[in-house]
A and B are shown apart, each in its own frame.
Chain A
């Protein structure tokens, strides 16, 4: 996958003192910025694949049985493969690499004033493993009998036994891809944690670290602590598939529900692993474009930590009706509903940050504000699902689908767009076009609501998930419900139609955009004191840090910002 051609041109001329070969510089690099780009571009390419899959199965749902332009008639097996891989790609191969690995690699050393990651070669290995996982994933889609279709949660016995899932090669390759990918992120995460703890600029105390670095580091800790059971589970499942072991086979003493515990013990913290970095990006962008100090910085840190700790005690809310001891549901209802407190607190702090601000609605700010506005709907609808009594009805309906898209879409698309448009001048030394940025913003946000609000209604009507055609269910095949499905699909097509605006704006601006200076947004954090784009090594002389990251509009100062590296 030759996805890094795009970046090399303007890096070459300016910083030729690292006279490496082209391959070595862009494919074998240990520079955290290049590795960040590798992750980001790979993730963005896979987002296109995931989006195409959504297009195909949404078309099938709106117009069942008709040939989908660009695909053809969708068979039930293909439908299952498409929803399974849409889910796994968007979470494991888009949200994770772009948000954590991409932004984490690019911005952590720059924001803490370091010349690179602490373990640059480990970092390179991390991306290389990730790349292998992408190859395994792609292979799983094209092998004989087709790709895996047992949903991204891969519940056995369906996922474990080829007689049930009918995709012997696809399921094993898919599972292998997931396992390898997690090893890659584990390496990357360890690097983030160690770097942020050890390589900060002189004078940068823990509470002088920008929120986004905190969130990525805590997300990495959550990931590190939760991924072990899942990788172990994946290996056990792989053994069940390939060697005929019976970890999850009830006929020979195994237990299929064990997998669900292993999966969700990882799977729910995973939600916060991607949510926290998104909240971090939004904090950076909101403070800069409101010219405001973050309201109660330490409170945000405490809520991040509290969310992280609580997130380890909520996993079984995915399993209320799975056949676990029903008394467990009571415990997990309490923990799940209580996690609303730190998250709500975080939202209140962000809202309060706007008070007394001087708000510019630039493209990054629009994305950041939209994240808050949309994510809050995703947050409150989670309460329905965390409440065991209501979840009996809502579990595995489209209400769940709408709920988690109202969290994941803001995370993986809206916050990422905010981050990309915000750091673009730093990354490429040029500005993106603001007008087309706004066109893309509105062309994405409005249809987004058009897709998922109808799905809330369908879920309330009892529409269950992962069904390729509702004709078999008289109460779900009514014209009223079908028209909701069509609204959702049409909205999706409109949203996809606006994405080339972004891609063209991105690629053209990379080469032709107006030149950006070091600190175009007049921001405080250290990355804006490096050249745009920063050379290998980031600074000729590493910066010192004298204050916290959000000293905007300080009384008695002429300038409304106060860079962290500026002596008082």
Chain B
């Protein structure tokens, strides 16, 4: 249902879509059954001259079945939904498969800053690439993301991945995703964060290993011989660095 509007671009996106289908079948059944019954009763028992309504207390056993049987079935359907929902949840939010690469995602009013580990695949080293409002990831690699916020609540939402997580100032949240489909997708901020909330979007680019190598080469910071890990970490927090790399990224497009 969801893939009618947005492609499923992460390994677990299909799980969410299947769960949505399951819920739709189960609750759709009850919804349609109840509405059909409801409208049929209204039609069947509309007022007719000379016909008096029946006196039914609801204590009659054979009539009470009409409530008790659906009651039991709803419980049964609920159990299916709960099991399916928890399975998907545990897979996406409670497990953390080993990472091929880790990125840092920093949100602030009203921009996303992404820190790519660079060629050495290790975060907070001199070759890290900082971008604003654009995240490049390689297809079929498992990514961890470290989600932070500098000011208010934001929410890191990638509809094509079926993934959403709030960024809370003062906390670092580590989550994961594995892109499975090449292309450009939207990153949204799904938590109201002030007057710029409506422009707080970013672009997600899922690309091949070769494309990523080209992108990295074009954006790798000039490596300073004296640079230490510490200075690289400092650079992460300066806006100048990130906006520089944005303009570079824009040029590349």
Binding site for B on A (CB under 8 A): 75-77, 79-80, 149-151, 155-158, 161, 164-166, 250-251, 255-257, 290-297, 299, 320-323, 326-327, 329-330, 333-334, 337-338, 340-341, 344-345, 347-349, 351-352, 354-361, 369, 372-373, 376-377, 380-381, 383-384, 386-390, 392-393, 395-397, 457, 460-462, 464-469, 472-476, 481, 552-555, 560
- The closest CB in chain A to the CB of B165 belongs to A321
* Contact A387–B81 (Cβ < 8 Å): yes
Q: Which residues of chain B have C-beta atoms less than 8 A from A474's C-beta?
A: 184, 186
Interface size class of B (residues with CB under 8 A): 35 or more
Q: In the complex the two chains form, what is the Cα distance from A312 to B88 in whole Å?
A: 25
Pair B56/A295 contact, Cβ less than 8 Å: yes
CB–CB A383/B45 < 8 A: no
| B112: min CB distance to chain A, Å | 12
14 A-B pairs besides A327-B94, A386-B85 with CB distance below 8 A are A76-B197, A158-B192, A299-B67, A326-B89, A341-B71, A345-B71, A357-B53, A359-B45, A390-B20, A393-B162, A469-B198, A473-B201, A553-B52, A553-B55
Most chain A CB within 10 A, of B30, B86, B166, B193, is at B166
- Please measure, in the bound complex, the distance between the C-alpha atom of A76 and the C-alpha atom of B190, giving whole angstroms: 16
B192 touches A337 (CB 8 A): no
- Residues in B whose Cβ lies below 8 Å from that of A460: 1-2, 4-5
Q: Which residue of A lies closest to B57 (CB)?
A: A293
B197 to chain A, nearest CB (A): 6
29 example contacts (A-B, Cβ-Cβ < 8 A) are as follows: A79-B198, A158-B153, A164-B109, A257-B168, A292-B53, A323-B165, A323-B167, A333-B82, A338-B78, A341-B71, A341-B75, A344-B30, A355-B54, A357-B53, A359-B45, A361-B46, A376-B34, A380-B28, A383-B26, A387-B81, A393-B16, A393-B162, A457-B5, A460-B1, A460-B4, A466-B192, A475-B159, A481-B5, A553-B54
Collect the chain A residues with CB atoms within 8 Å of residue B184's CB: 474
Tell me whether B98 is interfacial, beta carbon within 8 Å. Answer: no
Distance (Å) between the CB of B246 and the closest chain A CB? Answer: 15
> Complex formed: what's the CA distance from A108 to B140 in Å?
64
In the complex, the answer to whether A256 meets B153 with C-beta atoms within 8 Å is: yes
Contact A472 B71, beta carbon cutoff 8 Å: no
Given A355-B41, A380-B30, A380-B31, A392 contacting B6 (CB threshold 8 A): no
| Stretch binding the partner chain, chosen from B58-66, B122-130, B215-223, B225-233 | B58-66
Q: Which of A150, A323, A392 has the most CB of B within 10 A?
A: A392
Which one, A77, A291, A472, contacts B199 given CB within 8 A?
A472
Assuming the A-B contacts A295-B58, A383-B23, are A341 and B78 also in contact, with contact meaning beta carbons closer than 8 angstroms in the complex? Answer: yes
Nearest chain B CB to A292's CB is how many angstroms away? 5
Q: Is the CB of B151 within 8 A of A389?
A: no
Contact among A150, A323, A357, A358 with B173 in the assembled complex (CB-CB below 8 Å): A323
Q: Which of B26-48 contact A (CB under 8 A)?
A: 26-28, 30-31, 34-35, 37-39, 41-42, 45-48
Check B97 for interface membership: any CB of A closer than 8 A: no
Instruction: Specify which of A80, A161, A356, A472 is in contact with B53 (CB 8 Å cutoff).
Output: A356
